């Protein structure tokens, strides 16, 4: 008698979830909304940020609002944590793309190129106002556009930071949320607006357009929201919002660019002969915002911006060779007697957005002058450098390697006469 072969019954998987991971829900970052643009002046070959009175929104947002220049957006905050939806700190990027230092005014974490890690240091330091500035990153959901993610809005405006902090505190103070108007602010329909304000930096009048929040509800609706607090916050407790992108504003590849105050499409990428070149803001109506961000609105600070410094550099190895060939020797032949470098040449004029900055040039000159390399020799070599090449050169000379400025003498050697 044949015995039937028994087929094992498949067992149901016992473990299908990971505690602390499978139940986490992440809210992705969908895009960025900017508060201004970068204008390139063909007359001076310089670029500088300009604040706008409206939001620069992605295409999917402009399609819903029927304009690409809205001044008001309907928003929600995905979680009830101010440190998540509106983080703020002093930030320093130097000449590179990544964040090099971040602090709260008492202590900071700064990148140490020797230890290849972030190290604790005092805050503020001498970089404040010299490349370091207050920055905040607002993360909001746009319920009319997409409720599956958040949009990021960056600002360095003191007025905007104070406005938003104050409004959130009014709704739900950090130390005692129930003492606030609502006791929470997550998932509450609000308006985010660009509101014109008159400011007087150094006594001069200027218009600025800071961010402001508004809660347009009646007293009955307010009481209803308070009663539904637990219901509204329950689904958000497991949500984790994606961290804001922290990239040097000067490396913002999505920045809106104008040329002499016009869209490049209107000028075919350059000003026409009949166009009057625009000049950077000067005089009583000059902007006081530090010219490092394409998407920052003007700051209410009355302290004029200082040039950026490259006191801290990323430890990345050079990815491409400098524009000038390097020689094999690291010593420099001093200039002939009578040669002088006491007169400083005019600063290098940027020819494109990624051109070497004035701060990078000054950093290089401070090193080359110490070993008596003439400024004109240095400028002849670094004049066509990009920011990346200049950053690599700074790292090189910080190591004591000045071979980029070595002079290579070419001598004619007569050939022997033919026999």
Q: Kindly state the average pLDDT of the residues 317-344.
A: 42
Taking all residues of the chain, what is their mean pLDDT, rounded to a whole number? 78
Reference 163, options 88, 108, 216, 69; nearest CA is 88
pLDDT tens-digit map of 140-162: 999 999 999 999 999 999 999 99
The string of DSSP codes covering 62-73 is: HHHHT-SS-SEE
What is the model's pLDDT at position 362?
84
Best CA proximity match to 240, nearest among 9, 36, 70, 22: 22
Kindly report the number of other CB atoms within 10 A of residue 67's CB atom. 13
- Domain extents for the chain? 25-258, 316-409
Neighbours of 289 (CB within 10 A): 26
**Cis bond leading into 124, ω under 30°?**
yes
Q: Where are the alpha helices (DSSP H) in 212-251?
A: 219-227, 229-233
Place 418 in a pLDDT band, splitting at 50, 70 and 90.
low
Beta strands in 209-345 (DSSP E): 211-214, 239-241, 257-259
Please give the residue that has the higher pLDDT: either 246 or 406.
246
Instruction: Say what the pLDDT of residue 253 is.
Output: 82
Contacts of 417 (CB under 8 A, 6+ apart): none
Q: Of the given ranges (66-70, 73-77, 91-95), which has the lowest mean pLDDT?
A: 91-95
Q: What phi-psi label fits residue 314: left (phi over 0), alpha (psi between -120 and 50 degrees) or beta?
A: beta
Is it the case that residue 299 has pLDDT exceeding 60?
Answer: no
**What pLDDT shows up at residue 63?**
96
Q: Which uninterrupted H or E stretch holds 138?
A: strand 132-142
């Amino acid at each position: 008698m044949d015995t039937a072969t028994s087929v094992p019954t498949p067992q149901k998987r016992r473990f299908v979830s990971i505690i602390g991971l499978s139940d986490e829900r992440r809210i992705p970052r969908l895009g960025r909304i900017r508060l201004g643009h970068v204008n390139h002046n063909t007359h001076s070959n310089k670029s500088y940020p300009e604040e706008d009175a409206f939001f620069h929104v992605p295409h999917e947002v402009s399609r819903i609002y029927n304009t690409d220049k809205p001044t008001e957006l309907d928003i929600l905050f995905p979680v009830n944590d101010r440190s998540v939806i509106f983080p703020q700190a002093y930030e320093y990027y130097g000449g590179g793309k990544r964040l090099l230092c971040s602090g709260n005014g008492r202590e900071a974490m700064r990148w140490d190129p020797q230890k290849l890690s972030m190290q604790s240091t005092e805050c503020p330091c001498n970089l404040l106002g010299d490349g370091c500035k207050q920055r905040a990153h607002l993360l909001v959901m746009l319920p009319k556009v997409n409720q599956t993610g958040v949009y990021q809005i960056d600002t360095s405006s003191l007025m905007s930071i104070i406005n938003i902090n104050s409004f959130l505190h009014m709704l739900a103070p950090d130390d005692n949320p129930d003492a606030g108007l609502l006791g929470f602010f997550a998932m509450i329909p609000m308006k985010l607006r660009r509101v014109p304000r008159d400011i007087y930096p150094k006594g001069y009048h200027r218009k600025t357009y800071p961010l402001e929040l508004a809660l347009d509800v009646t007293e009955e609706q307010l009481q209803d929201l308070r009663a539904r607090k637990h219901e509204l916050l329950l689904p958000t407790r497991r949500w984790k919002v994606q961290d804001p992108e922290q990239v040097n504003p000067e490396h913002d590849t999505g920045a809106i660019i104008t040329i002499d105050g016009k869209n490049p499409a209107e000028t075919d990428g350059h000003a026409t002969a009949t166009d009057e070149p625009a000049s950077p803001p000067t005089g009583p109506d000059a902007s006081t915002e530090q010219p490092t961000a394409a998407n920052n609105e003007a700051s209410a600070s009355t302290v004029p911006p200082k040039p950026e410094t490259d006191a801290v550099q990323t430890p990345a190895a050079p990815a491409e060779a400098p524009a000038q060939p390097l020689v094999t020797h690291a010593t420099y032949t001093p200039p002939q007697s009578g040669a002088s470098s006491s007169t400083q040449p005019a600063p290098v004029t940027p020819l494109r957005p990624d051109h070497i900055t004035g701060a990078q040039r000054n950093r290089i000159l401070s090193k080359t002058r110490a070993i008596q390399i003439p400024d004109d020799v240095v400028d002849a070599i670094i004049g066509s450098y990009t920011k990346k090449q200049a950053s690599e050169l700074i790292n090189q000379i910080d190591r004591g390697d000045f071979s980029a400025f070595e002079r290579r003498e070419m001598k004619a050697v007569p050939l022997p006469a033919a026999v």
